[in-house]
């Protein structure tokens, strides 16, 4: 027997981070941040960390793994006490050093300590690093948090808000930051609002979070989303809003709705499950296939699939069952065993799909390999026909704003038309949601979203330098 | 901050075990058993183990924790090589020594080695132990596997099948056993067939499993369920069936359908998801409530809830989101934090339920405390009305056949009528599925199932001794 | 780079166990046992366990690894509370299942619970097991503790002391047992007293231990050694001594003095360090070599080496330094690296031995491979001459009484004379302590010790059956 | 039972680090560094790390714990492959964040990557950090390695050797650095040579190490010590020596000889064990006490104690036995248990010391609390008289050069004369080695060593700023 332990992988897009901040003197901000990170865990499972300020000193604990793993030794939490905290969960690209990139980043500069967490991707990161290095800066991780810390330290401004505002002028790309000084917490969202950041209120303070589901977890009330180009300052004087950039057209990443966010989160005030269900209804209107049943690929497509089922008047069935116990250290099957047709993570249920014309709803097709495999599973389980409906348009261009996408030539829709893809994944029918349809469901004008991955129209222009460096890492 | 790490708990019924056996010379039986245990993991998360026979010697590795934890060191699996294997996952009662009770049990007796796994509960265990002890037996764990091993060793029969058959005559209660000698594997199901055991086929051998979902996982084909009172022998001569007891009325535990089994398993040839959906439809027919939406309590009630939704013509919505990252070592919130209304494991989604008349579908009400809490969550999230529909009749009597139920006086339906329970859990409406309706959905005569927990009619009579000892442990 | 993690090994003899018992109502017997096991850890590093009686129930925690590892989760200790406890550390042969053999053994038999720990080896174990199996007994581990438990259960006696005494009559070999019932603790030493067991006293109770160093650790006062064939009963009535066998000639394992025991232990009232030093003096008298310095092989030969140095009037130098940080999981050097002459666990110090005539003192030569390697290290470090003095006679016969020795034909002295061994290990001189000299140092008549490994005269006759089975395992 | 797990502590001085570097293309530099860190483990047990260059890229793995713990997952080592490597073990002050301070430090600056390890303490660290911060630098750990990295990045020099040399001019204090670029390795020792650094040679390269014992481990040959103010460059062109500072008076930390170094290391070409033995002889000459036996406090005083014994003509006995199994996670005894006189880590051996006039040799007295406790143990074990001889002069001043010493007012000799100390520790006699005697033994002029802790004459003047900041941390 040859055993190979491998990390669970997926060909899906990956959100790269979740951020959380709380300023609430008198509350147990550490434990609340710990719970909030559980709520945001789906946004990143590779590292987790919490930094806590007691008003004078900031302390930080972080590590590689799930929140539950990093804080397994409860002493780590007990050592952190204070009135404000920031937390972070991170998805890491496979070739990165996991530990060194874990956040929060805690630094000392001439005016004291800063803890920084971020979500997103600066497209001029390499240019900025290069400029900073020429000024004598050294980089340990090279993250966007470290870039911001250097800019603040070099800003020449003593007052932190002025220093931050001056630094933000250099940044191009998608970013949300939470910067914590011993006394203040600052929430920042880029001028296009590509990555989400919401504000919540508690009895004795405020919270900031990538997603509102963390508000429910900590008992906070949703106030509003941070606006693009807005900078929110929370301290003993309460809440203060400033702008660091003029309003641009909003360009929220549309995949937050389609795939990343937890269904109980609200984005721009709209519940993600309900939006997905509406996407499913619209998808079914655009592709009124004839079939016997509808099923979704767990877990992200379940909302959309029930929308499809309701629209088509078909029963929604559990065509797949997902094994919830397969963790990250899992012994991979040998080729011999794989040949037996073992179904480990996902099981297509014969008694449900056998002899049926099945509508299989998925949220996106990226490389196409997963779709291929899942269609095959359904056929193997006896499905008579497999109609694949996708709640997003074909993905033809990579993301440079913080989503881990494969290179352009690995995107199946960048190389093939719909009919070719259908044949490639061996579906009887393949229907994508139209971009138009998608945006109508989101009830917002086309300008409100970044849809670059569907049409190559990047809201923030990419220069050659960025693209080139991006590739070389 | 006070931190308290506690094991995740639930007031639900708990299946106590899953068993698996494979006889397939030439296949990697160890790794296949490892995967099968992942598929059965929902039947027990407290300990796991695998025993493997190479035809002469049986070796065993077992430990406390999930399959992934027990076999994290891959060497443990690599040391086990052979042509037949048995595996086990176990749910443990809280006050037990976890390790000593882990299975398989591997013993040496005068005719060699035996590995034994079981699922169920002997109601005359204490009497048998007492009798065996009087003959000089010593017990290390006291499990039903150990009882059977002693009976075999004392049977006076040299031939193992005769020894097993003779031993089985002493047993009263619910049991499935898989007994492995170096050369043979024997599957056993009690004369009432209370706990399930199915037979599958592979290219070069056979498999036995508590649930058929493990067959899909290892690429085996379902053959049939083992019959009540049947004993299946698998060895180099193939498969052989014998009876150790005359056929009794079948009394399969009805909760296997309602709650325990994975939705992609088939029991008695019927898919569990589809049965649950039918239970939901029938439930809605019996209780045609007026409402705006239907939601299920994740994960076990989702199938039934979609049946309810379809029957009532209401949309099925994701009224709750469950946090999948909360593991067994989780720091409990302090009372102060709990008072903030933190929602850790389950989140009722305001934007979905607010202002709505919600039908909440659950599979059972045991103590009532969970229902109380969940109704409260829905109301807190703004639900206008909460109608609770339950896909099983009121539970009025404890189980003595292997399900971990609370004592009779902790069963809310043993103390209260439906209207009282409705008030207790603060629902606007409460409807249980009738026993009649339930059995019709299962499409079998009343006699085919054990429904003792709903009506106190125990298929196997309990004597006072058993009951008394059961209580004293 | 090829990495191979291996358990630290040694060609030395290995003591197989250490036992400890405490009966002291009002004291924290659990924690005291935990500390005592630290003091006995040198007697076994493979598993550890503690069983505690609260007067009614006995609870047990045990596991694979060092005491510190097994009880790393302090909850394990916290769960054990009582007024009496037994503990055990174990050295395991490499091919054994570590966990199943861990002690204490906790069993239920017809008269209640028993916890048993032992040290030693029954030479009629296989015969007894066979007889018991014929009566219907099943064995899970097959240890000598399990054998005794079965004998007690089959004794037909209800009173535990009578049951134990009756059972002991069947045993042949070396053994010390501590048997704990909920109310009593019983210490047992075989009629030849081959393995040690001592009695100590505390303010509110008594302790039993394989070695007296554990008495210092727990603040107990040494009373006396348990006598061969004696059975000590400790309960609420205090201490009571009985005999279960007539006094035989004492045959204490001489290697307890030479190698196993910690230097601060007393055996038969004599301090081990001082005995070793006397052995060293005598050795030097028998072999008055001319040299420049004396060094011992760490750690067991240091006492003897200082005796040699004082007798010869030579300086005692630290010719070797041992690396104390190399634990059990250690990546083995690749052959290429080994070829560089890396010295990982032991380092011969060039500046100390270079150009010197070195007397190297070791406690025994078993296979000869270690001696060969160490002499080579000294020569490599520049020693001009290497004189090897050994504080025991040549080992020519294996031990059947609980010491892990290689088979007879792997014993270098069983195949070669002294001069041949000298050449084999490349020493300039090789001197063994004479058996006579050794016994004179121990100040006891020849009959007081088991010296079978030096002369093949086994105090308890071995029958063919035992020897044969022993070999086949 | 109340259990408290605590890290093993000691009142001893603590060396803060060990550094190792290897440049040996063709050898398995990663595994050799791993072994070298085992040899240096006594210099720091809190964190460990290895950085490896493959000629283009430097990769780093580090973590909290012993070498064996940090590299328990062998994959970590397997991922590191190259032709040069630096390694580090670290002792951390208790209030530090362990992980962030772990070394090597791996940074990117404008000319590429650098890995840096260091041993020592910059006395102008706070001033330098402040100056660098004013230039816009940010500090993550604030270690002396990070200070050097910033200086190099700000040096304005593109060539790394020139950049390093320019940077070193700013440093004041004790330091050894090893700086690794992808192509080169640079060894640096401060102009006073306070902390040691030695050069060794292998078949295909060179090694640098804090102590020569690591050379034996990896099969390297000692070449010479790096000179104070010297900078050694190792690359594909071989070895090159440069000076970055004019020779000052050598001021090697005398405690390297007395206490820190492993006895098989050579410092300045002299074996540490032999030097310690000579210190012991001289100590006995200065204090020719009348007694019956000599014993040393394990492990550091054993060499000196045997020198004392030989000089006094008294037997050297094992008056104490140290428990080698007590690791860092150890459950502390409750006060009740402590009152029983439990002896966990160290055991004074009654049979050896009872009724004896004992000379107890220790290497230093810092706070006096350990001496007090050990004298008490000897008396409790029956020693008639206890004569304490110390192989160093009274410690009256704290160290600012990298040794973790208590504040001045916690140093017993800063507050009391010898007679007072004797009474405080309850010794019958107390003798310190004279500073003169100590230096004579070291065979070097007074100027060759830093003896500031004995006389307050600091070789590098401390300014108020440094002292003040040092105190505030």
pLDDT tens digit sequence for D103-154: 999 999 999 999 999 999 999 999 999 999 999 999 998 899 999 999 999 9
List, by residue range, all CATH 3.60.20.10 domains of chain C. Answer: 9-248
Closest residue to B274, CB basis, from A219, A341, A352 = A352
Instruction: Tell whether B73 lies on the interface with C, counting CB pairs under 8 A.
Output: no
Cβ of residue D332 closer than 8 Å to a chain C Cβ: no
Residues of C in contact with B105 (CB under 8 A): 140
CB pair distance less than 8 Å for A5 and B219: no
Inform me whether the pLDDT recorded for D13 exceeds 70: no
pLDDT of residue C462: 76
pLDDT at C7 exceeding the cut of 50: no
Cis-peptide, bond into residue D104, ω within 30° of zero: yes
The mean per-residue pLDDT over the stretch A404-408 comes to 83
Is residue A8 within 8 Å of A330, Cβ to Cβ?
yes
pLDDT at A236: 96
pLDDT of A358 strictly over 70: yes
Retrieve residue C181's tokens.
């019932």
Q: Which chains does C contact via 3+ CB–CB distances below 8 A?
A: B, D
What pLDDT shows up at residue A445? 60
Q: Does A138 touch chain D (CB under 8 A)?
A: yes
Query: Please, which pLDDT band fits residue C36 given cuts at 50, 70 and 90?
Result: very high
For B111, the closest chain C residue by CA position comes to C133
pLDDT band at C1 (very low <50, low <70, confident <90, very high): very low
* A430 contacts A422 by C-beta, under 8 angstroms: yes
Where b means 16+ CB within 10 Å and e means fewer, B196-210 reads: bbbbbbbeebbbbbb
B297-333, pLDDT tens digit by residue? 988 899 999 999 999 999 999 999 999 888 766 777 8
Give the tens place of pLDDT for each residue, A432-459: 999 999 999 987 665 689 999 999 999 9
- Contact between chains at D138 and A153 (C-beta distance less than 8 A): yes
Looking at residue B445, its pLDDT comes to 60
Asked if the model's pLDDT at residue A7 lies above 60, the reply is: no
pLDDT-derived band at B6 (thresholds 50, 70, 90) equals very low
Interatomic CA distance for residues A463 and B426, integer angstroms: 61
CATH of D273-322+330-443, one of 3.40.50.2020, 3.40.50.300, 3.40.1160.10, 3.30.420.40: 3.40.50.2020
Q: Which H, E and C letters describe chain A, residue by residue? A: CCCEEECCCCCCCEECEEEEEEECCCCCHHHHHHHHHHHHHHHCCCEEEEEEECCCCEEEEEEECCHHHHCCCHHHHHCCCCCEEEEEEECCCCCCCCCCCCCCEEEEECCEEEEEEEEEEECCHHHHHHHHHHCCCCECCCCHHHHHHHHHHCCCCCCHHHHHHHHHCCCCEEEEEEEECCCCEEEEECCCCCCCCEEEEECCEEEEECCCHHHHHHCCEEEEECCCCEEEEEECCEEEEEECCCCCCCCEECHHHHHHCCCCCEECCEEHHHHHHHHHHHHHHHCCCCCCEEEECCCCCHHHHHHHHHHHCCCECCCEEECCCCCCCEEECCHHHHHCCCCCCEEECHHHHCCCEEEEEECCCCCCHHHHHHHHHHHHCCCCEEEEEECCCCCCCCCCCCEECCCHHHCHHHHCCHHHHHHHHCCCEEEECCHHHHHHHCCCCHHHEECHHHHCCCCCCCCHHHHHHHHHC
Q: How confident is the model at residue C2 (pLDDT cuts 50, 70, 90)?
A: very low
Lowest mean pLDDT, pick from A281-285, A397-401, D149-153: A397-401
Beta bridge partners of B225: B198
Nearest CA to D82 out of D106, D50, D105, D114 is that of D50
Chains touching B by CB (3 or more pairs below 8 Å): A, C
Minimum Cα–Cα distance from A150: chain D residue:
D138
A108 CB within 8 Å of a chain D CB: yes
Q: Give per-residue pLDDT as tens, C181-225.
A: 999 999 999 999 999 999 999 999 999 999 999 999 999 999 999
- According to CATH, where is 3.40.50.2020 located in chain A? 273-444
- Closest of C195, C188, C199 to residue C245, by C-alpha: C188
Chain D partners within 8 Å of C350 (Cβ):
216
| B-interface mutation test, from C6, C7, C111, C140, most B Cβ less than 10 A away | C140
Average pLDDT score over chain C: 89
d(CA C277, CA C285): 12
Which residues in chain C touch residue B138, judged by CB atoms under 8 angstroms apart?
107-109, 137, 149-150, 153
The per-residue pLDDT of chain B, averaged, comes to 89
pLDDT greater than 80 at residue B11: no
Q: Determine the distance in angstroms separating the CA of B28 from the nearest CA of chain A, rounded to an integer.
A: 7
Quick one: pLDDT band at residue C250, thresholds 50, 70, 90? confident
Q: Is the preceding peptide bond at C435 cis, omega within 30 degrees of 0?
A: no
Higher local confidence (pLDDT), B370 or D209: D209
Give me the mean pLDDT over the D341-366 stretch.
91
Give pLDDT tens digits for B236-259: 999 999 999 987 788 999 999 999
Q: Are D22 and D36 in contact (CB under 8 A)?
A: yes
Is the predicted pLDDT of residue C71 greater than 50, yes or no? yes
**pLDDT of amino acid B212:** 96
- B/e letters for C28-42, b = 16+ CB within 10 Å, e = fewer, are bbbbbbbbbbbbbbb
Q: Average the pLDDT over each of B375-384, C331-340, D82-91 and give the range with the smallest value.
A: C331-340
Regarding predicted confidence, which is higher, D331 or B139? Answer: B139
Interface A:B, Cβ pairs < 8 A = 204
Written as one string, the DSSP assignment of C188-251 is: EE-TT--S--EEEEETTEEEEESSTHHHHHHT-EEEEEPPTTEEEEEETTEEEEEESS------
Contact list, B331 vs chain A (CB under 8 Å): 31, 34, 71, 74, 77
ipTM: 0.89
Residue B235 near residue B23, CB atoms below 8 Å: yes
Euclidean distance between the first and final Cα of chain B, in Å?
A: 37
- The candidate with the shortest Cα–Cα distance to A298, out of A319, A325, A326, A280, is A319
Query: Is the pLDDT score of B9 beyond 50?
Result: no
Give me the pLDDT at residue B318, please.
Answer: 93
DSSP H or E stretch at residue B165: helix B160-168
Separation between Cα atoms, residue C362 and residue C369, nearest integer Å: 13
**What count of CB pairs under 8 Å joins B to C?**
76
Q: Give CA separation, B423 vs B387, B418, C191, in Å.
A: 12, 9, 74
Q: Is the pLDDT of residue B339 over 80?
A: no
What angle is formed at CA C253 by the lines to CA C250 and CA C258, rounded to 5 degrees? 130
Q: Is B445 in the C-facing interface, judged by CB distances under 8 Å?
A: no
Range(s) of chain D covered by CATH 3.60.20.10: 12-248
Q: Which residue ranges does chain A devote to CATH 3.60.20.10? A: 8-248
CA distance D209 to A49: 35
The correct answer on CATH 3.40.50.970 for the domain covering C273-444 is no
pLDDT band at D471 (very low <50, low <70, confident <90, very high): very low
Q: What mean pLDDT is reported for chain D?
A: 89
Q: What is the average pLDDT score of chain A?
A: 89
Residue A134 pLDDT exceeds 50: yes
- In this complex, do A274 and B35 lie within 8 Å of one another by their Cβ atoms? no
Is the minimum CB–CB distance between B29 and chain C shorter than 8 Å? no
Tell me the C-alpha distance between D165 and D148, whole Å.
11
pLDDT at B206 over 80: yes
Q: What is the pLDDT of residue C338?
A: 76
pLDDT given at position A74: 76
pLDDT per position as a tens digit, C252-271 = 999 999 999 999 999 988 99
Q: For residue D31, give the nearest of C316, C329, C334 by CB distance.
A: C334
- One of 3.60.20.10, 3.50.50.60, 3.40.50.10680, 3.40.1280.10 is the CATH number of C9-248, namely 3.60.20.10
Flag the least confident range among A65-74, A272-281, C413-422, D280-289: A65-74
Mean pLDDT of D305-334: 88
| B60: three-class secondary structure by DSSP | strand
Contacts of C383 (CB under 8 A, 6+ apart): C348, C353, C354, C355, C356, C357, C358
Q: Which of residues 244-303 of B touch A (CB under 8 A)?
A: 262-264, 266, 270-271, 273-274, 277, 302-303
Residues of chain B with CATH 3.60.20.10: 10-248
Using an 8 Å Cβ cutoff, are C201 and D328 in contact?
Answer: no
CA A245 remoteness from chain centre: 24
Confidence of residue B93 (pLDDT cuts 50, 70, 90): low
Conformational region of residue D219, where left means phi above 0, alpha means psi within -120 to 50, and beta covers everything else:
left
CATH code, residues A8-248: 3.60.20.10
Q: Give dist(CA C171, CA C194) in Å, integer.
A: 13
| D411-434 pLDDT per residue, tens | 999 999 999 999 999 999 999 999
State how far residue C155 is from chain D, nearest Cα, in angstroms. Answer: 38
Has this prediction a pTM greater than 0.80?
yes
The string of pLDDT tens digits covering residues A11-47 is: 566 667 999 999 999 999 999 999 999 999 999 988 9
Q: Is D346 near chain C, with CB under 8 Å?
A: no
pLDDT digits (tens, 9 = 90+) for C296-318: 998 889 999 999 999 999 999 99
With CB atoms and an 8 Å threshold, state whether D139 touches A106: no
Strand B293-296 versus strand B357-362 pairing type? parallel
Q: What kind of architecture, by CATH, is found in domain B10-248?
A: 4-Layer Sandwich (3.60)
Retrieve residue A218's tokens: 């900590």
Per-residue pLDDT at C392 exceeds 70: yes
Place domain D12-248 in its CATH homologous superfamily: Aminohydrolase, N-terminal nucleophile (Ntn) domain (3.60.20.10)
The model's pLDDT over B266-290, given as tens digits with 9 standing for 90+, comes to: 998 899 999 999 999 999 999 999 9
Model confidence at B446, pLDDT cuts 50, 70, 90, reads low
Cα–Cα distance, A179 to A234 (Å, whole number): 10
Where does chain D hold its CATH 3.40.50.2020 domain(s)? 273-322+330-443
Sequence-ordered list of residues with C-beta below 8 angstroms from that of C261, at least 6 positions apart, any chain? C196, C211, C213, C267, C272
CATH topology of domain B271-324+332-444: Rossmann fold (3.40.50)
- Tokens 């004569």 belong to D387
Over residues D291-297, the mean pLDDT reads 96
Does residue B16 carry a pLDDT above 50? yes
Every domain of chain B with CATH number 3.40.50.2020 lies at 271-324+332-444
Band (pLDDT 50/70/90 cuts) for residue D248 is confident
């Amino acid at each position: 027997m040859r055993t190979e332990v491998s990390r669970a992988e997926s060909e899906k897009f990956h959100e790269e981070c979740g951020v959380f901040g709380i300023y609430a003197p008198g509350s147990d901000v550490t434990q609340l941040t710990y719970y909030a990170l559980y709520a945001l865990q789906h946004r990143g499972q590779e590292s987790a960390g919490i930094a806590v300020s007691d008003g004078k000193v900031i302390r930080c604990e972080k590590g590689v793994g799930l929140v539950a793993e990093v804080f397994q030794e409860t002493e780590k939490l007990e050592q952190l006490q204070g009135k404000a905290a920031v937390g972070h969960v991170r998805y890491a690209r496979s070739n990165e050093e996991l530990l060194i990139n874990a956040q929060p980043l805690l630094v000392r500069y001439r005016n004291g300590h800063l803890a920084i967490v971020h979500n997103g991707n600066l497209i001029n990161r390499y240019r900025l690093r290069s400029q900073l290095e020429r000024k004598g800066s050294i980089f340990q991780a090279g993250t966007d948090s470290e870039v911001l810390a250097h800019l603040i330290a070099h800003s020449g401004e003593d007052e932190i808000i002025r220093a931050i505002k001056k630094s933000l002028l250099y940044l191009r790309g998608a970013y949300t930051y939470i910067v914590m000084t011993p006394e203040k917490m600052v929430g920042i969202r880029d001028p296009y609002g590509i990555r989400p950041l919401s504000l919540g209120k508690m009895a004795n303070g405020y919270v900031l979070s990538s997603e509102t589901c963390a508000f429910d977890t900590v008992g906070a009330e949703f106030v509003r989303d941070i606006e693009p180009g807005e900078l929110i300052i929370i301290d003993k004087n309460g809440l203060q809003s400033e702008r660091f950039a003029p309003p641009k057209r909003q360009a929220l990443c549309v995949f937050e709705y389609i795939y990343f966010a937890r269904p109980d989160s609200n984005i721009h005030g709209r519940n993600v499950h309900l939006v997905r269900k509406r996407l499913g209804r619209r998808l079914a209107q655009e592709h009124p296939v004839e079939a016997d049943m509808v099923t979704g690929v767990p877990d992200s497509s379940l909302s959309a699939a029930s929308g499809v089922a309701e629209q088509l008047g078909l029963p929604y069935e559990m065509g797949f069952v997902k094994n919830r116990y397969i963790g990250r250290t899992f012994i991979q099957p040998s080729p011999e065993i794989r040949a037996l047709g073992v179904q480990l993570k996902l099981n297509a249920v014969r008694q449900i799909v056998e002899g049926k014309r099945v509508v299989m709803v998925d949220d996106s097709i990226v490389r196409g390999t997963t779709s291929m495999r899942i269609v095959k599973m359904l056929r193997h389980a006896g499905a008579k026909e497999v109609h694949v409906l996708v709640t997003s348009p074909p993905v033809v261009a990579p993301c440079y704003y913080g989503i881990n996408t494969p290179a352009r030539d690995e995107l199946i829709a960048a190389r093939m038309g719909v009919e070719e893809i259908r044949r490639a994944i061996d579906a009887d029918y393949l229907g994508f949601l139209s971009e138009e349809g998608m945006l109508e469901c989101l009830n917002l004008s086309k300008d409100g979203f970044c849809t670059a991955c569907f049409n190559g129209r990047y809201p923030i222009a990419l220069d050659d330098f960025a693209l080139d460096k991006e590739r070389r890492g």
